[in-house]
Homo-oligomer: A and B are copies of this chain.
Amino acid sequence: MKNKVLKVVKIGGKLIEDESKFAEFLNDFVALRGPKILVHGGGNLATEIAGKLGYKTQMFEGRRITDADSIKVITMVYGGLINKNIVAKLQILNENAIGLCGADGMSIVSKKRPVKEVDFGFVGDVEKINSEFINSLLEQNIMPVFSAISCTEEGVLLNTNGDSVAAEIAKAMSDIYETELYFCFEKKGVLANAENDDSVIQEITSEKYQELLEEKIISDGMLPKLHNSFQALESGVKNIFLGDFRLLNKESVYTKITD
Q: Which residues of A contact B (CB under 8 A)?
A: 49, 52-54, 72, 75-81, 83-85, 87-89, 91-92, 96-101, 103-106, 133, 136, 140, 142, 149, 151, 153-157
Contact A155 B92 (CB under 8 A): yes
Which of A80, A85, A155 has the most chain B CB atoms inside 10 A of its CB? A80
Task: List residues of chain B with CB within 8 A of the CB of A104.
Answer: 84, 87, 97-99
Task: List residues of chain B with CB within 8 A of the CB of A77.
Answer: 76, 80
Contact B49 A157 (CB under 8 A): no
Which of A52, A79, A149, A156 has the most chain B CB atoms inside 10 A of its CB? A79
Contact A84 B75 (CB under 8 A): yes
Contact B149 A84 (CB under 8 A): yes
CA distance A76 to B155 in the complex (A): 20
- Can you list 27 A-B contacts with CB-CB less than 8 angstroms, sorted by A residue number? A52-B53, A53-B53, A75-B84, A76-B80, A78-B80, A79-B79, A79-B81, A79-B84, A80-B81, A84-B101, A84-B104, A84-B149, A84-B157, A85-B157, A87-B104, A88-B151, A88-B155, A89-B155, A91-B151, A96-B105, A96-B106, A96-B133, A98-B98, A98-B104, A98-B105, A99-B104, A136-B142
Task: List residues of chain B with CB within 8 A of the CB of A54.
Answer: 52
